Amino acid sequence: MIGRLNHVAIAVSDMEAAVAVYRDTLGADVSEKVAQPDHGVSTVFINLPNTKIELLEPLGENSPILKFLEKNPSGGIHHVCYEVEDILAARDKLLAQGARVIGDGEPKIGAHGKPVLFLHPKDFLGTLTELEQA
């Protein structure tokens, strides 16, 4: 069912410092910072030859990554995102197997403009797992 690894997301408290790590220290290709007010984060993408790293910085007082950064003040890997061909079919298959989808179960439009769902870390090896329609 799952296809490509679309991205690995790393939450950071200081995007400028994070960009310096990937652009200057690790010598990677780094996108511009984009505010995603609907998601409560700003994003920068590290473009690798085969996938992307998504750097997430909190935006606003209700950012969904604030709690994670309180627990992990230096930042840390926040989630992985796999592509699926049909997100509704994937959701229904997962629910039928007893896996939990976060929220109301309806896909939202993610940072790439495509439908996404988040799966419960307790059902997926302690790993917050996003599915994105390819």
Applying CB under 8 A, which residues contact a second copy? 1-5, 8, 10, 12, 18, 21, 24-28, 48-51, 53, 55, 72-77, 80, 82, 93-94, 97, 99, 121-127
From residue 16, alpha-carbon distances to 42, 55, 119 in Å are 11, 11, 30
Structure-token pair, residue 34: 């984009």
Q: Minimum distance between the CB of residue 106 and a second copy, rounded to whole angstroms?
A: 20
Cβ(79)–Cβ(128) below 8 Å:
yes
Whichever of 77 and 88 has its CB closer to a second copy, that residue is 77
Distance CA 53, CA 47 (A): 7
Whichever of 13 and 40 has its CB closer to a second copy, that residue is 13
Whichever of 55 and 59 has its CB closer to a second copy, that residue is 55
* 3-state SS, residue 130: strand
Q: Minimum distance between the CB of residue 133 and a second copy, rounded to whole angstroms?
A: 15
* 3-state SS, residue 67: helix
Q: Minimum distance between the CB of residue 8 and a second copy, rounded to whole angstroms?
A: 6
Q: Minimum distance between the CB of residue 39 and a second copy, rounded to whole angstroms?
A: 19
From the candidates 54, 57, 83, 130, which is the catalytic residue?
130
Q: How far is CA 44 from the centre of its chain?
A: 11
Phi, psi of 90 (to 5 degrees): -65, -45
| Catalytic-residue membership of 130 | yes
Whichever of 59 and 82 has its CB closer to a second copy, that residue is 82
Return the active site residues: 130
